[in-house]
Amino acid sequence: MTEAQFLQKLIFWRREIHKNPELGGQEFKTKKLIEKTLKEFGIPYKKISKTGILAFLNRSKSANDPCIALRADMDALPLNEISKKNYASKNPGIMHACGHDAHVAMLLGACLKLSQTKDLKGTVKFFFQPNEEGAGGAKELIQEGVMQNPKVNGIFGLHVNPRLSSGKIGLKSGPLMAAVDQFEIKIFGNGGHAAYPHEGKDALLIGAEIVQALQTIVSRKIDPVEPCVVTVGTFQSGSRYNILAGDATLTGTVRTLSEKIHRKIPKLIHQIVQGICKAHQARFKISYNILGSVLSNHKEMTELAKDTAQELFGKECVEELEKPSMGGEDFAEYLKIASGCFIYLGVGKNENEPMFPWHHPQFDLDESSLPKGADLLAGIAKKFLKC
């Protein structure tokens, strides 16, 4: 297969998935495309969970042979796509705005390349993972046993990055992405007529104070050199312009890179909410959920990925990243079990075209970078297995 033919395959897979985006746990059409393609390649696989797939190439001659896993996420986002492209989403309110369509295409490309490699000396597992955006997919696959039988010794994943020039490989050892928490704050005041606010307990006003006060966590209660984000994303309160709001609900997210700070934030949120509600004689309820851990790349695996990228594409194509991202990724769950590395692939378009960030309704990517992602994943597997 020529390089041009390989690129066209990757583009075809990516666009088919992009046209038919599916939310986490509902990736049925995506799963069918993956299954059909794996059958064409002659690669064995089994269904994992409702929509996940575990494919594998087992060339082990002994129980001591190494096992590497390569992972791609499959799900889309609840977002209306704004695009005139012929491969735009056919499903209103759902869009691949984070590049998971490209991730699946590149992992299928790596499957094809590795299936044609005769001198593999171990096992390669391919995780097609559902529900990354919901932060439950990785844990579900781990519970299904994908990291065992045989035990995974190293795991690698790849994510497109529109902030990097097309074809650039972005790498960083240590913390790369943040822990992700979610909170909900319910405030119970006492409604009434807006003309007589002194007779009630205005939950909207109380909520507004809480929104403001929560920002003091980062500005006044956390060491300034410690990365931390506290964001209130929704604020729902009130029913009419002349009715005092009897209740309010706030939801938001917390992002941290330090486990010490991670443990501290819920206590600080509780203290602030409790103090403000007590001052207004209102009741409250807080729900706090830890959705994901800090994604921290292992040094040896990052070096392996770097060496592979430089050998394949040259030193100029590799960019060592200085700063981590406050975005989250449930690939972190796999790194709790096995050493590994999460890699960025630049997909930024040329200067004449606008660059839209992840989760934007006009997000798109430079498809010419797709073969590099597939080749890198396949090359890492070969190097790990010492082919």
Condensed to tens digits (0 to 9), the pLDDT of residues 99-126 reads 999 999 999 999 999 999 888 889 999 9
> For residues 172 and 160, what is the distance between their CA atoms, to the nearest angstrom?
15
* pLDDT for residue 168 is more than 70: yes
Alpha helices in 165-323 (DSSP H): 203-220, 259-279, 299-313
**Among 250, 255, 254, 260, which residue's Cα sits nearest to residue 212?**
250
**All structural domains of the chain:** 3-177+295-384 (3.40.630.10), 179-292 (3.30.70.360)
Q: Determine the pLDDT at residue 113.
A: 96
- Of residues 279 and 352, the one with the higher pLDDT is 279
β strands within 271-370, DSSP E? 283-292, 295-297, 318-320, 339-348
Percent of all residues in the chain with a pLDDT value above 90, rounded to a whole number: 93
* pLDDT for residue 387 is more than 90: no
Integer Rg of the chain from CA: 23
230 sits in which H/E element:
strand 228-237
- Name the band, by pLDDT with cuts 50, 70 and 90, for residue 35: very high
> For residues 358 and 220, what is the distance between their CA atoms, to the nearest angstrom?
30
* pLDDT for residue 63 is more than 80: no
If you average pLDDT over residues 194-206, what whole number do you get?
97
Mean pLDDT of the chain: 96
* pLDDT for residue 240 is more than 70: yes
If you average pLDDT over residues 268-297, what whole number do you get?
97
Neighbouring-strand partners of residue 250: 185, 235
If you average pLDDT over residues 275-294, what whole number do you get?
96
If you average pLDDT over residues 263-287, what whole number do you get?
98
Q: Determine the pLDDT at residue 78.
A: 97
Phi, psi of 287, deg, nearest 5: -115, 125
Q: Is 263 exposed, middle or buried (0-12, 13-18, 19+ CB in 10 A)?
A: exposed
SS3 of 291, please? strand
* pLDDT for residue 61 is more than 90: no
CB 285 within 8 A of CB 186: yes
The residues that are catalytic are 75, 132
* pLDDT for residue 307 is more than 90: yes
Neighbouring-strand partners of residue 254: 181, 230
Instruction: Render pLDDT for 312-332 as a digit per residue (tens, 0 to 9).
Output: 999 999 999 999 999 999 999
Q: Determine the pLDDT at residue 182.
A: 97
* pLDDT for residue 50 is more than 90: yes
